[in-house]
Amino acid sequence: MVPAHQQQRHRDLGKDRPGVPVHLRQRLDADIRQRVAPSGEPAPDQMPEPPAQPPHPVRGRDLLEEGRAGLGEPAGAERLTEPAVDGLGPLGDPPGGADEGEVTQEVGVERGEAPPGPVLLPGPGASWAAASSTTTPPRHCPLTASPTRYVANQRQTEQEAMSTHIDQLEAVIARDRSKVLDWSDKAVQPAWYGRSIAEVAKARPKLDELSTPMMTLDRRAIDENLLTMSRWCAQAGLSQAPHGKTTMAPALWRDQLLAGCWAITVANEPQLRVARGAGVPRVIVANLFLRPGGLAWLAGELAADPGFEFMCWVDSAEAVQLMDAALSAAGAQQRVHVLVEVGNSHARTGVRSLDGALRVADAVVSAPTLALAGVAGFEGSVAHEIDAKAIADVDGFLTRMVELHRRLLDRYEVRDAVLSAGGSAFFDRVAAILGPEDGTRGPVHTRIVLRSGAYIVHDDGYYRTATPHARGSGPAFRSAMHVWARVISMPEPGIAYLDAGKRDLPFDQGLPELQVMRRTGPDCATTTHPLVGHELFDTSDQHAHVRVPAGSPLRVGDVVRLGLSHPCTAFDKWSLIPVLDDASAETPVVIDLVRTYF
Ligand SMILES: Cc1ncc(COP(=O)(O)O)c(C=O)c1O
């Protein structure tokens, strides 16, 4: 059962958002309640279109577990009856003397027996398909008595720890909101100096009182995006670990966790420190993590906090050895969970061949400080277009991930393995190809973890054309970020200059678009006008260059709303971002300010 105080927290979701419309809050609350309800099945009438996926025998139970796990409830309640086994616990023999044999008996598989069920997929790439099944036998360190070494879930303590961490995250956000504002953030208005974020939010200043340029978030759009993605993933049987590097905003990570996300993903050690400092309970570093000092710090964090769950990626035996040496030297008390990263020729990191991936897995199994916990990859680095070839390449890549995962089912050193992929462009393909692997096969329960991060804010550029919805096969999102800029000069016909430039706007994946103008008259009344045919064609450090069509209503002094492309390079330009109740309202008001930590 979800503890009463947590149920209350989920019931309360949205109550601290005065600008969120009641109907949306109710929908969000109902959604969360559904996730903690004993039936666990979302109401079919509220579902966006499902991804193509064959039925899976354990889906119903897993959906419930998904909801529970995302909300801090221990997944797999029946597993709580299994004896505690070493895993997240200290290296060496399991506590209480439970040995490896006992563990494998518990999960019903003879040691060395291949798990039932999996049928190997044909490998699409020659090197991958041609990989031989004979791999170097693992060297066993004295602390690993068996090639299959399961890791305890420690669900009982995790439940308490997860709830403590959400409290910690709330406390960090509350601390941020209580800090006194001053000139040091470009979003802070002189009238706000000496006041806290909470005080400013309570006063609900109007958008038209803000200086330009100014990036804002749209609370209504964020909540809709959160809800839409949570529902879609729940129906597809996917757990979410959204990439936190998009926003680097603990307040938005908190919203994602409360909407049911299972973990937060980050890209490197500094970002991990932010996630950890903010109190995120479960973090994936979707990357290699090799710095000895960083690993020593991580070992200390894991030892100090049994509720903290962590995993990162490895793609070579060298990386495994570096990690193992650093963790051993640091006297690590807990194994660090690692996923073998599948790569692609000319893409980023990741093992290029099946043989190579199996060798990396062997190296992990041989490393006393590491636990082999799954397979990961990023299909977004495989395809740069969104055409049929791109889909075929992505499908081939994901199929190779599945093949490796199936080959590792009897090697994993955890009972809950992770199979993780997914940016925001091809997550429908992740659902279709990785989705059927969800559930229990032999000794291992597989969790499919989707890392799409941009969905929470979406955009009016790259992602508008790149998400599955644009191909007619996924949920629809709405851009929740804008920059407001002022027309400061129209020095020649057909040209206008705005006071926002490269310092304020993303420009790496397409330039912003002009959407709406606002003009405040001497009587302080504001009129708005949609803008059609205006083209922002260049940016310099502090200016945007705009081509203005004949007959444009635009005048010097008007404020325009810019739709942006690529949230990752928008957020990093703003350390404090006002949150509007609704950016499309006639008179939007600021209901909060979100701090980012880049
Ligand atoms: C490894 C990895 N996973 C997930 C993501 C999330 O993708 P998106 O930003 O498209 O949501 C990224 C983004 O670059 C990534 O690099």
What is the spatial distance between Cα 265 and Cα 272, in angstroms, rounded to a whole number? Answer: 9
Q: Which CATH superfamily is domain 198-217+476-595 in?
A: D-serine dehydratase-like domain (2.40.37.20)
pLDDT of res. 273: 98
What is the model's pLDDT at position 346?
A: 86
**What pLDDT does residue 320 have?**
98
Residues with CB under 6 A from ligand 1: 243, 246, 286, 378, 380, 423-425, 451-454
Report residue 357 as tokens: 């991936």
Measured CA to CA, the distance from residue 302 to residue 285 in angstroms comes to 14
For position 127, what pLDDT does the model report?
61
- Give the number of the atom of ligand 1 that is nearest the alpha carbon of residue 463: 10
Alpha helix positions (H), 138-218: 155-178, 197-203
**Single-letter residue type at 88:** L
The rounded distance, in Å, linking the Cα atoms of 452 and 516 is: 29
Q: How far is the CA of 378 from the centre of ligand 1 (A)?
A: 7
In CATH terms, the fold of domain 1-142+152-166+225-455 is: TIM Barrel (3.20.20)
Cβ atoms within 10 A of the Cβ of 210, count? 19
Which pLDDT score, from 0 to 100, does residue 442 have?
Answer: 84
Probe target for ligand 1 pocket from 243, 452, 462, with the most ligand atoms within 8 Å of CB: 243
At 166 the pLDDT is 86
Give me ligand 1 centre to Cα 157, in Å.
31
Which burial class, exposed, middle or buried, applies to 229 when counting CB atoms under 10 A from its CB (0-12, 13-18, 19+)? buried
- Ligand 1 centroid distance, CA of 387 (Å): 19
pLDDT, tens digit (0-9, with 9 covering 90-100), for 11-37: 333 333 333 334 434 444 554 444 333
Report CA(568)–ligand 1 centroid distance (Å).
10
pLDDT confidence of residue 443: 85
The atom of ligand 1 lying closest to the CA of 452 is 11
| Nearest-atom index, ligand 1, CA of 455 | 11
Distance from residue 453's CA to the centre of ligand 1 (Å): 6
246 neighbors 569 (Cβ within 8 angstroms): no
| Atom from ligand 1 closest to the CA of residue 451 | 4
Low-confidence ranges of the chain (pLDDT < 50): 1-28, 31-126, 129-148, 150, 152-159
Domain spans in the chain, listed from the N-terminal domain onward: 1-142+152-166+225-455, 198-217+476-595
Tell how far the Cα of 469 is from the centroid of ligand 1, in angstroms. 17
Q: State the alpha helices, DSSP H only, in 71-154.
A: 100-106, 126-129
Among protein residues, the one with the nearest Cα to ligand 1's atom 2 is 378
C-alpha 301 – ligand 1 centre gap (Å) = 25
Residue 158 in tokens: 């995790």
**Residues facing 417 on adjacent strands:** 446
CB 234 within 8 A of CB 260: yes
Is the fold of 1-142+152-166+225-455 the same as that of 198-217+476-595? Answer: no
Over 506-559, what HEC string results?
Answer: CCCCCCCEEEEEEEECCCCCEEEEECCCCEEEEECCCCEEEECCCCCCCCCCCE
Distance from the CA of 60 to the center of ligand 1, in angstroms? 28
Residue with tokens 């054309």: 465
Ligand 1 pocket test, candidate residues 378, 427, 455, 469, most atoms within 8 A of CB: 378
Residue 199 Cα to ligand 1 middle (Å):
35
* Predicted confidence (pLDDT) per residue in 99-120, tens digit: 333 333 232 222 233 333 333 3
What pLDDT is attached to residue 386? 85
With beta carbons less than 8 A apart as the criterion, state whether 197 and 593 touch: yes
Number of helices and strands in the chain (H, E): 17, 19
Q: How many A from CA of 11 to the centre of ligand 1?
A: 31
Pocket test for ligand 1, best of 313, 341, 451, 462 (most atoms within 8 A of CB): 451
Neighbours of 510 (CB within 10 A): 16
The predicted pLDDT at position 122 comes to 41
| Protein residue whose Cα sits closest to atom 6 of ligand 1 | 423
- Which residue's CA is minimally distant from atom 13 of ligand 1? 423
The pLDDT value recorded for residue 161 is 53
